[in-house]
Amino acid sequence: MKNVDFVAQMELFLEALFKDATARNNAIVFNYNPNYPRYLSFEAHKLIGAIKNLSRYYLKEVTNSKLSIIFNIVNYSLTSVHFDIYIKCTTVPLKQNKKLINEADVLLSELNAHINQIVDGFCININIPLPKSGTFKKRNSKISNLSGKNAIIACEDKDIFSIISHELSFHGLKLNRQKSFESLNLHIKDAIFKPDIIFVQKEYLSDKARLDEMLTYQKLKNFYIVIISKDEAKSIKSEKMITLRQPFTSDSLHETLGIVARNL
């Protein structure tokens, strides 16, 4: 069986799924812990095909909703890893496309995997072989010059906050979470506190006055802004600003942090 870089395969898949999501103003959250095995030995296209069908079951019908694709390791050994994969949505579609579910079921049966319908979505149970050459590939290396830096995550979504905070903690950043623009603004204006990086949802900056105020304080305190966006964010004229587009993998988040680190 061919060994595959599963994270890279999912990156390509999520890029395609992004178009389905934005067509109806939906957002996607993807969570595959960077400590999970990156290289797997199986027909990945069949699992990805099943996830695609179950995702489109929602994305083709719902609007203004959040779709979550979450991998959880149930058990693992030197030869295999057992996942529960959750595909969940905040909205139930009015039309239930049974064809998409059946096609996903056929693909999963070829991998000896099972699908269960749960309250807010689907759960795939699958056991996947690991490459014979090893089990867990080391995750992305630490970005040393981020250690000790102050980061604010201004985000209402607890899943996105969890994903980003896990990665920032790994690199040694000091974290501060703000759930509203008002509380974020107070921290930015604080004469004592100096943030180095601010992760902020695009919606917080939709008001031009808010954006202008943040850019003013950015010039004073010299912090880097990472905009978390569920769609294609418009370009903003600031040298120390970058967009982290949903859905993102640990690779794209690590790449974003690398850019930030080089420009702090």
Query: CB under 8 Å to 31, separation ≥6 — which residues?
Result: 68, 69, 70, 71, 159, 162, 163
Q: How many domains does the chain have?
A: 2
Same domain, 38 and 91: yes
Q: Looking at residue 114, which CATH number applies to its domain?
A: 3.30.565.10
8-state DSSP, 204: G
Same domain, 94 and 197: no
- Domain extent, residue 189, equals 144-263
Between residues 179 and 236, which one has the greater pLDDT? Answer: 179
Same domain, 257 and 165: yes
**Angle, nearest 10°, between helix axes 250-263 and 158-170?**
60
pLDDT of residue 81: 96
Looking at 129, 155, 184, the residue that finishes a domain is 129
Looking at 95, 129, 163, the residue that finishes a domain is 129
Instruction: Identify whether 136 is part of a domain.
Output: no
Query: CB under 8 Å to 208, separation ≥6 — which residues?
Result: none
Instruction: Identify whether 18 is part of a domain.
Output: yes
Token pair 């008002």 is found at: 182
pTM of the model: 0.91
Beta strand spans in 91-187 (E): 114-118, 121-129, 150-154, 174-178
pLDDT surpassing 60 at residue 138: no
Mean of the pLDDT values across residues 69-91?
A: 96
Mean of the pLDDT values across residues 92-104?
A: 94
Same domain, 11 and 82: yes
Instruction: Identify whether 135 is part of a domain.
Output: no
Instruction: Identify whether 27 is part of a domain.
Output: yes
Burial environment of residue 199 by CB neighbours within 10 A (0 to 12, 13 to 18, 19 or more):
buried
Q: Looking at residue 194, which CATH number applies to its domain?
A: 3.40.50.2300
Whether residue 131 is preceded by a cis peptide bond, meaning omega within 30 degrees of 0, is no
Looking at 67, 94, 129, the residue that finishes a domain is 129
Q: 172, 146 in Cβ contact below 8 A?
A: yes
Query: What is the pLDDT confidence band of residue 233, given thresholds at 50, 70 and 90?
Result: low
In angstroms, how far is CA 226 from the centroid of its own chain? Answer: 14
Query: What is the pLDDT confidence band of residue 137, given thresholds at 50, 70 and 90?
Result: low
